[in-house]
Amino acid sequence: MKLAILLLSLLTINCIAQTTPKFNLDFEANKPGEKLSSGWFKWGAYDLEMDTTVVHAGKYAARISSTSEGSAFGSIAYRIPANYAGQSIMLQGWMKTQEVADGFAGLLLRIDGGGTSLKFDNMNKQNITGTNDWKQYTIKFAYPEGAESIFVAGILTGNGKAWFDDFVLTIDGESVQTLKEKEKPVFKANLDKTFDAGSNLEFPELNDALIANLDLLGRIWGFLKYHHPEVGKGNYNWDYELFRLLPNYLKVAKASERDQMLVKWIEQYGPIAPCKKCKPVAPDAFLKPDLSWIQNGQLNSKLEKKLLEIYKKRHQGGHFYIRMVEAIGNPEFLNENPYAEMAYPDAGFRLLALYKYWNIIHYFFPNKHLMDKNWNDALKTHIPGFLHAKNELEYELAAIQLIGDIQDTHANLWRGNEKMEEAKGRFFPPVHVQFIEDKLVVTDYYNPELKPVAELEIGDAITHINGKTTESLVDSLKRYYPASNDAARGRDMATDLLRSNHQNIQIRYISDGQQKEKELVLYERDSLKIYRWYRKDDERSFKLLDGNIGYVTLKSIKENDIAELKEAFKNTKGIIIDIRNYPSTFVPFSLGSYFVSSTTPFVKFTNGNVDHPGEFTFTEAVEIPQASETYRGKLVVLVNELSQSQAEYTAMAFRAGDNTTIIGSTTAGADGNISAILLPGGLRTVISGIGVYYPDGKETQRVGIVPDIVVKPTINGIKTGRDELLEKAIEVIHQ
């Protein structure tokens, strides 16, 4: 009897496990405290909630409610990996609508692959509006080749409400809940472990000829990495193929011998079939592939011909080492081993790091054309630094100088920089300092109780540190602080100048016009309430200033603040939005639409191309949608060097407003979604992965958001506690 009960229990458990769906397409799987059903996420600006009273079946349905943005949109979406084969795909789902107007409601099915949308339908042509009871709708189209992600969604545009429930997704008539997934491919590249313990390479003494040979090898190695079909398929661990070639390559004495060896190396990977999908450079390409190094007459004709043949027959489609992020288009670098166990990589791996980074920038950095230096010179320039690095610190310093050459404030050494941090010092000053009027000025105390010990006043300007002028220190250290412009570099350098591995430093400073000198006591980081750029606090994100002016700071704004502040400020004379910070919530559309009286383009991007490395083309301009109600007063936006990335993007959105003035100083000049790069030794850096432009094609990278009215803080203003940018904003509104 007990055995029968046990078998029955096991059978029951097994049946439950079998009937539990893989994907939560009926909204029934929910976690306590979560606003949306498990696996579902938000697109757009509208309010999303799970409804327990209006449902088609079960206990839950999803509800989208329009907000005051009017012709914006809201969507509740679910991502399913496209691990299936088939010819056709169909989405069915139930939808109910209430008073939908000035837009439509519908199901949405989108298939992405290769960093772009391959197929898309949101039922907009069916124009479903008004009030409708529950009804099942269907989207069906051909299942595209190269699919990587399937997005199932419900969408509402315009005004009204829409409910969604019981989605069913099928491929060739079989539900994805039961459909067998494609077997994941086993890549030969991942099976090659030959050099896991080290490259075992010994480099001869560097001379001009060897540097030139290594420069050429780095270019060809990277060219093959992103163009050769066998590499793109993942058939070779391309890091280790470099180490297999190098021992003999380092011995070549003549250019003819070198080129002959490179031809044989390429030929060992077999013949390449003609490329039926390869397209020429797009006629509207903003940036084009740079093949000048192949065709500059420095290579023998056979090697040049071999490389150009690979270019014409280059890999197409899914690539082992690179893809573009879905719906955004910034590069994602795949299968890059950081070799994190090698804190100080051997010479072969250090050279590999240089080769990896140079080629990533050469083919997939959208702002290469904005560098002050010619990137074609960077390989030969940095080869000595990487190969001669005698320890972990010197390797990190070589990497940070290479990164600095691309002049991107996003780009820094964000991991693997432990020795650099140690060198900067474990003790920190009790004061926050900034460059004001080109002087290193005390602007705040991390811990006010330390002021009597430090004996420094707000507004004091530090002129010397341990006997060296601040100007000379900045000049000697700036190569280790990558940035798009000097304003961002100074921002990042300021506090570090007062760090030390000694608990006391000697400073000279000017206070109330007098030159003074003292020994400044430093502290362990954990003992200070230290902050990087500005204090992050829980202060209310908006308030009413004297003179009937609204003030909003984006550093603490929450999504549910937006409707409230619009109501509170709708009759004000003007609104000041402070973006001298990093926005805590994404607001370009939800708040930006309040300031435009018609749908207005505000930004466009350039995206790279996996199928044609080095090619970048413009996207269509992104628009701020017209709101149902437009603010009639003046809008003033405050920016400075603390405004970076999303802050700059948000300022661009506000600039599209009908009556906007931007006040302040040049921003950090680094916008666009970032892409991570992993390098040997556990190094991690990033780049701005898409080019960001105004609709008329004006640059933002390195330039930043240029104010309409330039206002910078003054030392006198800092001393007297004034916010001179805010004062100017109030003045502009009252004019």
pLDDT tens digits, residue range 694-730? 999 999 999 999 999 999 999 999 999 999 999 999 9
Please, what is the average pLDDT of the chain? 94
Query: Which of 189-203, 402-416, 525-539 has the weakest average pLDDT?
Result: 525-539
Q: For 184-198, what is the mean pLDDT?
A: 94
Q: For 195-206, what is the mean pLDDT?
A: 96
Give the model's pLDDT for residue 19. 61
Query: Which of 180-194, 355-369, 495-509 has the weakest average pLDDT?
Result: 180-194
The whole-model pTM stands at 0.86
Beta-ladder partners of 237: none
User: CA dist 226 to 305, 362, 465, 596, Å?
Assistant: 18, 11, 48, 44
- When computed from its CA atoms, the radius of gyration of the chain, rounded to whole angstroms, is 29
Per domain, the residue ranges of the chain are 40-175, 199-419, 425-527, 542-734
Asked if 677 contacts 333 with a C-beta cutoff of 8 angstroms, the reply is yes
Q: 542 Cβ partners below 8 Å, 6+ apart? A: 550, 551, 552, 553, 557, 561, 564, 565, 568, 569
Asked if 667 contacts 705 with a C-beta cutoff of 8 angstroms, the reply is yes
Q: Following DSSP, what letter does each residue of 352-370 receive, concatenated? A: HHHHHHHHHHHHH-TTGGG
The answer to whether residue 83 scores a pLDDT higher than 70 is yes
Asked if 148 contacts 141 with a C-beta cutoff of 8 angstroms, the reply is no
- 3-state DSSP: the chain helix, strand, coil percent, rounded to 5? 30, 25, 45
Beta-ladder partners of 165: 94
Query: CA 236, CA 247: separation in Å to the nearest integer?
Result: 18
Nearest to 21 by CA among 34, 37, 33: 37
pLDDT tens for each residue of 138-168: 999 999 988 889 999 999 988 899 999 999 9
Instruction: Fill in the DSSP letter of residue 449.
Output: G
The angle at the Cα of 455, spanning 449 to 459, to the nearest 5 degrees, equals 100
Other residues' Cβ atoms within 10 Å of the Cβ of residue 275: 16
pLDDT-derived band at 10, boundaries 50, 70, 90: very low
Q: Give the sign of the dihedral formed by CA 639, CA 641, CA 642, CA 645.
A: positive
Q: In what order do the strands lie in the sheet with 116-121?
A: 40-44, 73-81, 149-157, 105-113, 116-121
pLDDT-derived band at 102, boundaries 50, 70, 90: confident
Give the model's pLDDT for residue 21. 87
Asked if 667 contacts 650 with a C-beta cutoff of 8 angstroms, the reply is no
Beta-ladder partners of 692: 605
The answer to whether residue 68 scores a pLDDT higher than 70 is no
The number of C-alpha atoms within 13 Å of 75 and in the hemisphere containing its C-beta is 21
pLDDT tens for each residue of 565-574: 999 999 999 9
* CATH number, span 425-527: 2.30.42.10
Give the model's pLDDT for residue 13. 40
The SS3 of residue 718 is helix
Give the model's pLDDT for residue 326. 83
Asked if 395 contacts 389 with a C-beta cutoff of 8 angstroms, the reply is yes
pLDDT-derived band at 8, boundaries 50, 70, 90: very low
pLDDT tens for each residue of 420-452: 999 999 999 999 999 999 999 999 999 999 999
The H or E element containing residue 19 is: helix 2-19
Give the model's pLDDT for residue 327. 82
How, if at all, do strands 331-333 and 691-693 pair? unpaired
pLDDT tens for each residue of 18-30: 467 899 999 999 9
Question: What are the start-end ranges of the H helices in 279-405?
Answer: 301-312, 347-364, 378-388, 392-404
Q: For 122-142, what is the mean pLDDT?
A: 96
The SS3 of residue 549 is strand
* CATH number, span 542-734: 3.90.226.10
Give the model's pLDDT for residue 115. 67
Nearest to 93 by CA among 130, 50, 56, 44: 56
pLDDT tens for each residue of 405-420: 999 999 999 999 999 9
Q: What percent of the chain has pLDDT over 70?
A: 96
Query: What fold, for 40-175?
Result: Jelly Rolls (2.60.120)
